[in-house]
Chains A and B, each alone.
Chain A
Amino acid sequence: MHTKSFNKICLNLAFTLALPVALLAQEAPAAKPNPNQESHIGNLTGHAHAGAQLYYRYCWGCHGARGNGEGENAQWLDPQPRNFVAAVFKCRSTPSGTLPTDEDLNSAISRGFVTSTMPSWIALTAQQRADLVAFVKTFSARWTTDKAGTPIDIPAEPKLTLDSIKHGKELFQKLECFKCHGPEGRGDGPSASTLTDSQDRPIKPYNFNSGYRFKCGTSNRDLYKIFMTGLDGTPMPSFADVVKPEDAWDLVHYLRTLQIWHKSPELLLWQSQGGEFAKSQKPENTPTGADVRP
């Protein structure tokens, strides 16, 4: 009997405590995704309702009908499709932790992601891509509560010099980039095998030997952005707080020399004047199908 009474008291107490919490929760409901999102890309305005049809046609197989990255094909894909509900994006022009701009999302859709199954959708019209960007923003409440970050400033690229590359090489060591990317940028650093993304899925560091393109672009500016904004959701952090802009360009110049299949100005300069170490760099066997041309 005593036990039963005690249980009743506990139950009543729990309800008494839970009620105000529930009421409070009702007073401040969680933000919901906005189904009427728009995107603004150049002079185009994208509309989510138009993007929905396109998403249904092109995207749901991987990203899922709910945008959670669990489409019917996701189980077969590596890397996994982006989870739009989490609203965490690798490729941004904005600081780490912030939402990307519409232009960033549009750029990702247009460019695709190298070494993944996400193709370039450049064959779609600009309006269609803008509509898709708007629709992607309907999956997460973050797009209603947060604003996109402000794109980082990227100073003009200084003239390429041997000193710049050498300084970049020092930074590569100092910042311990080699721990993941390996001493020659082949993605085989000592930590490489232990890396996981924010959803605890194994993730590989970028192999600079694999080609000339990065997931987030192909240009030196894109490379600058990658390590100054970080790749959210991955172990790749932002170095904006520890690397000065002028130093960042030196690192860019050095990283280009690691792409030994891509005859960039940086690599040519490095190979011609970079000393014995540079000359000793030889390309490993490139997997069949790797792009070796710019």
Chain B
Amino acid sequence: MQRLYSTNVHSVSGRLGAALFFSLFILALSLLDCRPAAALPAFARKYGMPCSSCHEAWPKLSPFGQQFKDNGYQMGNERDAPIYQSPAYWPVTFRITPQWHRESTNKVLVDGAGGNNSAEAQVTTHGFDWSGLDFHTAGTLAKNVSFYVLPSSNNSGAFHFESVWARLDNIAGSSWLNVKLGKFELDNLLSEKRIVTLSNVGGFYQNYHFQPFYQPGKPESAVFTFGIGDNQVGLEYMGHSRDDRWRVSASLLSSSDGQPNLPNSRGYDGYFTASRAFELGNLGLQRVGGFAFIGQAPTYPQFTSGGSAIAGTGIGNKGFQRYGLIGMWYIKKFDITTIYFHGSDSAWLASGTPATPGATLPTGARSPSWNAALFESHYNLNPQLIFINRYELIRMSQQAFVGDGVTAANASNLGNTDTLTFGMRYYPFISSRAGFAYHTEYAISRIRGASPLTNTDLTSSSLLFGFDFAF
């Protein structure tokens, strides 16, 4: 039975903001559904190795696969250059997931007795569907020159470039000198592009995309978007020890959140990572590390033409940061990844206030900050079967708005998020030609105060069964 909620006291702008947020939320989910994950039978075909060599459970990398990736998609056996391949070999892989899924959201903006978008209702839908399509083409152009081009579509076939880069590997014969230029996934040890969950709710890391609310119904993402899980455009230095126990990287990125063309501003962001792996008895290879994203975004255009901003002239840059610590812990067949995450944004960005000369922040505006954690565990019974569990929580430590005498302060838990995901993937065969998995998953997420009309808790869930395959 549908539950309808009467209209409370909300301003029109609040409703529009909420509607906009919800639209963006749905849009983000649909885009994330592309899942441009990197599991490349093209590599398996090139080297004649089964998927399970590089993937604990594809697309999740094993330490060997991580080393292969860090080495520029090379085994280092003097047979990496394409000249050694049959001329007919073309390093292309596609991946898609036909599926049945059920989506449920407890408070969707619907037309009600009060007019258009005047009520909230629980909406539950289900049916057969398919995911977006990824065309991975990657490998080496020559020894120590690697590349990756990934045209990726949503499930209606609208393509975009998820990755476009070339990399100079092992410069001067040193594994510590690798330089990549283009659009690429940030050097996240827990790769969202290799996530082992696929559903609309559980198929991405909340931590990697979280942006707070300025006020109820006014998400920060309406005026400024950023996600550490989004592929970014820039230049990356990466270095690692031969055995990959040590890894470091530093990236200089356009402040564009990975969008094509020149960014809105002439600003640059930086992303830095370092990690160390070590052996702990016979438990496996453990890894600990840290990462930091230091970014900025413009708050207004320097020039407009016909009222529209001229691209690349954004100024009044204000900063945002994301920091984190990661641990990847193995106890034989069981492993758990833990992440502590801290984020903060400038109050100017959160409130969407142009930082023009002499401008002041709206009364009550603060720099929002939050802490978050992720626990993702896997039980790899054998190379053909993996059980997955993930819990993410995000807790605001400072709200972006603390009241101005007219509008009440944000509830302290506005935007707090909890997401729980369970899944299982079974690979009926393992070969060096193609990958195939029976995928089962359930995920549920609750965001405090995020419903579009009543600003109460927004709860969404996904149930998915699918055939996930790549060839």
- Stretch of B222-230, B278-286, B352-360 contacting A (4+ beta carbons < 8 Å): B278-286
Question: Given A53-B382, A287-B83, A288-B83, A123–B244 Cβ distance below 8 Å?
Answer: yes
Taken together as a complex, chains A and B put the C-alpha atoms of A57 and B68 apart, in Å, by 16
B residues 274-296 touching A (CB-CB < 8 Å): 279, 281-282, 284-285
**Interface flag for B461 (CB, 8 Å):** no
**Interface flag for B116 (CB, 8 Å):** no
Distance in Å from the Cβ of B81 to the closest Cβ of chain A? 3
Partner of B77 from A118, A123, A294 at Cβ < 8 Å: A118
Taken together as a complex, chains A and B put the C-alpha atoms of A128 and B284 apart, in Å, by 8
Q: Tell me the nearest residue of chain A to B55, going by C-beta.
A: A57
Taken together as a complex, chains A and B put the C-alpha atoms of A294 and B172 apart, in Å, by 10
Question: Given A289-B78, A289-B80, A61–B279 Cβ distance below 8 Å?
Answer: no
B residues 170-203 touching A (CB-CB < 8 Å): 172-173
For residue A113, which residues in chain B have a CB less than 8 angstroms away from its CB?
A: 77
Q: Are A115 and B49 in contact (CB under 8 A)?
A: no
Q: Tell me the nearest residue of chain B to A116, going by C-beta.
A: B77
The proximity string for B residues 55-74 relative to A, scoring 1 for CB distances below 8 Å and 0 otherwise, is 00000001110111000000
Taken together as a complex, chains A and B put the C-alpha atoms of A294 and B285 apart, in Å, by 29
- Tell me the interface secondary structure of chain B in the complex: loop
Q: Are A58 and B53 in contact (CB under 8 A)?
A: yes
**Interface flag for A112 (CB, 8 Å):** yes
Taken together as a complex, chains A and B put the C-alpha atoms of A114 and B84 apart, in Å, by 13
Among B53, B62, B66, chain A packs the most CB atoms within 10 A around the CB of B53
Taken together as a complex, chains A and B put the C-alpha atoms of A77 and B77 apart, in Å, by 14
For residue B279, which residues in chain A have a CB less than 8 angstroms away from its CB?
A: 125-127
Q: Are B52 and A58 in contact (CB under 8 A)?
A: yes
Question: Given A124-B63, A124-B64, A119–B432 Cβ distance below 8 Å?
Answer: no
Q: Are B382 and A72 in contact (CB under 8 A)?
A: no
Question: Given A123-B67, A125-B284, A291–B243 Cβ distance below 8 Å?
Answer: no
Taken together as a complex, chains A and B put the C-alpha atoms of A170 and B176 apart, in Å, by 42
Distance in Å from the Cβ of B231 to the closest Cβ of chain A? 25
For residue A137, which residues in chain B have a CB less than 8 angstroms away from its CB?
A: none
For residue A118, which residues in chain B have a CB less than 8 angstroms away from its CB?
A: 77
Question: Given A62-B48, A289-B83, A293-B173, A112–B77 Cβ distance below 8 Å?
Answer: yes
Taken together as a complex, chains A and B put the C-alpha atoms of A288 and B431 apart, in Å, by 29
B residues 6-40 touching A (CB-CB < 8 Å): none
**Interface flag for B90 (CB, 8 Å):** no
Partner of A116 from B79, B83, B172, B430 at Cβ < 8 Å: B79
Distance in Å from the Cβ of A270 to the closest Cβ of chain B? 22
Q: Are A289 and B67 in contact (CB under 8 A)?
A: no
Q: Are B47 and A114 in contact (CB under 8 A)?
A: no
Distance in Å from the Cβ of B288 to the closest Cβ of chain A? 16
Taken together as a complex, chains A and B put the C-alpha atoms of A115 and B67 apart, in Å, by 19
Among B50, B52, B284, chain A packs the most CB atoms within 10 A around the CB of B50
Distance in Å from the Cβ of A46 to the closest Cβ of chain B? 10
Q: Are A213 and B63 in contact (CB under 8 A)?
A: no
Taken together as a complex, chains A and B put the C-alpha atoms of A79 and B79 apart, in Å, by 12
**Interface flag for B91 (CB, 8 Å):** no
Distance in Å from the Cβ of A186 to the closest Cβ of chain B? 16
**Interface flag for A13 (CB, 8 Å):** no
For residue B81, which residues in chain A have a CB less than 8 angstroms away from its CB?
A: 287-289
Distance in Å from the Cβ of A197 to the closest Cβ of chain B? 19
B residues 365-404 touching A (CB-CB < 8 Å): 382-383
The proximity string for B residues 77-116 relative to A, scoring 1 for CB distances below 8 Å and 0 otherwise, is 1111101100000000000000000000000000000000
A residues 107-159 touching B (CB-CB < 8 Å): 112-128
Instruction: Apart from A76-B48, A288-B81, list 9 A-B contacts with CB within 8 A.
Output: A58-B53, A61-B431, A72-B432, A112-B77, A123-B244, A125-B279, A289-B79, A289-B83, A293-B172
Which A residues contact B (CB, under 8 angstroms)?
50, 53, 56-58, 60-62, 72-73, 76-77, 112-128, 210-211, 213, 287-291, 293-294
Which B residues contact A (CB, under 8 angstroms)?
47-50, 52-53, 62-64, 66-68, 75-81, 83-84, 142-143, 172-173, 242-244, 279, 281-282, 284-285, 382-383, 430-432
Would you list 25 pairs from A and B whose C-beta atoms are within 8 A, ordered by A residue? A57-B50, A58-B52, A61-B48, A61-B50, A61-B431, A73-B432, A76-B48, A112-B76, A114-B77, A115-B77, A115-B79, A117-B79, A118-B77, A119-B68, A120-B76, A122-B67, A123-B62, A123-B67, A124-B63, A125-B279, A127-B281, A289-B83, A291-B78, A291-B143, A294-B173
